[in-house]
Structure 1
Amino acid sequence: MKKILLLLAGVLCMLLGLFFAIVPGPSLIFFMAGLLCFSFDYPKARHYLRLCQKALTKSCRYLDKKLAR
C-alpha cells in the first residue's frame, strides 16, 4: 500500500512538473519531489535526483557570486 501511494505521488508530482514547465510555475520543485518519491524504489531515480541536486547547488552558488558583485 505504501509503495503504491509513493508511486502515485511521484506520478502526480511529475505531471504537475510537466504542466508547470509549460505554464509559468514551480516546475523544478515538482520534478525533484517526483524524483524523491521514485527514488525510494528505483535506484536510477536516486541517481537522477543526485544529479539535479548537484546542478541546483552549482547554479545557486553561481547566482550568489553574481549577485554579490
Structure 2
Amino acid sequence: MKKTLLLLLGGLFILLGLFFAIVPGPSLIFLIAGLCCFAVYYPKARCYLALCQKALTKSCLYLDKKLSR
C-alpha cells in the first residue's frame, strides 16, 4: 500500500513537472520531488536524482559568480 501510494505520488509529480516545463511554473521542483519518490524503490532514479542535484548545484554556483560581479 505504501509503495503504491508513493509511486502514484511520484508519477503525479513527474507529470506536473512535465506540464510546467511547457507552461510557466516550478517544473524543476516537481521533477525533483517525483524523482525523490521514485528513488526510494528504484536505484536508477537515484542516479537521475543525483545528476539533477549536481546540475542544479553547478548552475547555482555559476549564477552566483555572474551576479556577484
TM range (shorter): over 0.9
For structure 1, the residue ranges without an aligned partner over 5 or more in a row are none
For structure 2, the residue ranges without an aligned partner over 5 or more in a row are none
After TM superposition, give the deviation of residue 50 of structure 1 in Å: 0.2
- SS of the equivalent of 1:25 reads coil
Alignment of 1:1-69 (within 5 A): 1-69=1-69
Letter in 2 for 1:41: Y
After TM superposition, give the deviation of residue 8 of structure 1 in Å: 0.5
- 2: CA distance, partners of 1:35 / 1:11: 9
Letter in 2 for 1:24: P
Alignment length (residue pairs): 69
- RMSD of aligned alpha carbons: 0.4
Identity of matched residues, %: 78
> After the TM superposition, which parts of structure 1 deviate over 6 Å for at least 4 consecutive aligned residues?
none
